[in-house]
Amino acid sequence: MRKSTIARLSNLIALLAGLVFLAFLSGCDSNHDHHDRNPGPKPSLHAVKHLILFIGDGMQLENEIAASRYLYGTDHGLAWHSFPFQGYVSTWDVNAYNAYASAFSAARYDEETFDPVIGYDPSWGGIAPYPLDLTGNLAYLLGAATDSASAATAYATGVKTDSGNLSWRRDDPADGALKTIAQKMRSQKHAAIGVVTTVPFNHATPAAFVSHNPYRENYAEIADEIINITAPEVVIGGGHPDWNGGYVTAAQLDALRASTEYSLVERIAGQDGGANLLAAASALPAGKKLFGLFGGGGGDFEPPEPLDTPGSPGFTVYAENPSLAAATEAALTVLGRNPKGFFLMVESGDIDWANHGNNFSAMIGTVWSLEEAVAAAIKFVEQPDDEIDWDNTLLIVTADHATGGMRLNDALPLGKGDLPEQVGSIYPGGELTYNTGGHTNELVTIYARGARLNSLEKLEGAWYPDTFILDNTQVFQAMSKAAGLK
């Protein structure tokens, strides 16, 4: 490793940590006020029974700020911005690591000898995401970055792998399948498991938690494993072949319709998908599983469209697909019946799709979907007269990676209900800029509420001293520790 980089890293981290700490004490500037940590009640010493992981695919901090401004007129007003645990996550995968290693004449990735600073170097990228840390080198952050499949694999298994791999070891060995946290919750705790997404259910992020494949686009194989082998208690997502034939075969749809294991709820023209899904979840017979198969022409749910109505935010929604909030509520209704507990992963998958297209309006709609879903989960945990509460539940909100490199122009701030002029992916008013159509190596945020927050706190800075940075593999470790998994 470069000695000069190590020395520069140590000096810069010490300096920036002091500056960021002073900024926290002063409340930060008026445009980017960041919530101080609230230690809350003393954490439970018991293992959590219920794990809820929300992933905003492709979501960066600037997206959160933009959505919060549109919805509430403040920078940090989203449901998770008040959570007592807040930190940052490095997201690099093996491909990104090797690209940086090549650029700096370092050794390629090896599990026993790797240097985390090769994958993400805080002296280049910053010790916090933009705009909390303005020192990040944009060219560096726009360099090599993770793929969604490998990023989700890191959260699901705690293992770094190659881009495109779904819970499969790097270099694609024949016996490369990695056991996921969902599988461990089921095998060790007899918990129920589920995945919910706004994109096809066999797309990268949900698939990494409930399937294994060395190639993320083997959609038919992945769907077959999810439906017939892993068979989660709940699967809700897009990919319905009547709207897009690229994800699920006609034979697989026929099998789901004839299934005695699953109760299938489909997108039906002219019907309210959310209402149908919630009704099915509430009436689900004992021992039956729930499968919601929806989606549109792109395979995903049509995202809500925000209205440009300054002072009064609003959205046009398309009800044939359920909202992410309704899908989350339906999933929790089913999973919550298991007295042994549950694991649920919920993804707002098309935040990433919006950012790939540099589509600010769509991004606002998809972050709002996540906001509503997190609020629904909080309401579920806090409902009375059941045994699910914050003493036995850990809820995490994070992102798998950042996409788009969006930057807001604080000289031209957008207020509540206000959208910029948008011509395709161009913003002639200058209120914001996108710097790429691809993924970036920026830090993403992580927020948590509930029991065993100390499992996350103990890992902060383990790879990046004197920072609030965890690696995505360490989030897996923290969830496993919190749940008491072997």
- Cβ(60)–Cβ(406) below 8 Å: yes
Place of tokens 């819970």: 167
CA distances (Å), 197 to each of 65, 109, 183, 351, 370, in order?
A: 22, 31, 18, 11, 10
β-bridge partners, 192? 342
CA distances (Å), 6 to each of 18, 249, 379, in order?
A: 18, 52, 46
Domain ranges of the chain: 3-483
Per-residue pLDDT tens digits of the chain, which is 486 residues long: 332 333 333 333 333 333 233 233 233 333 334 434 444 444 456 899 999 999 999 999 999 999 999 999 999 999 999 999 999 999 999 999 999 999 999 999 999 999 999 999 999 999 999 999 999 999 999 999 999 999 999 999 999 999 999 999 999 999 999 999 999 999 999 999 999 999 999 999 999 999 999 999 999 999 999 999 999 999 999 999 999 999 999 999 999 999 999 999 999 999 999 999 999 999 999 999 999 999 999 999 999 999 999 999 999 999 999 999 999 999 999 999 999 999 999 999 999 999 999 999 999 999 999 999 999 999 999 999 999 999 999 999 999 999 999 999 999 999 999 999 999 999 999 999 999 999 999 999 999 999 999 999 999 999 999 999 999 999 999 999 999 999
Q: Which residues contact 481 (CB under 8 A, 6 or more apart)?
A: 452, 455
| Domain at 3-483: CATH architecture | 3-Layer(aba) Sandwich (3.40)
Query: Which 3 state secondary structure label does DSSP give 213?
Result: strand
Mutual angle of helices 472-483 and 148-157, in 10-degree steps? 30
- Cβ(437)–Cβ(58) below 8 Å: no
pTM: 0.92
Mutual angle of helices 273-282 and 324-335, in 10-degree steps? 10
CA distances (Å), 378 to each of 194, 374, 448, 451, in order?
A: 17, 6, 12, 14
Alpha carbon distance 20, 260 (integer Å): 56
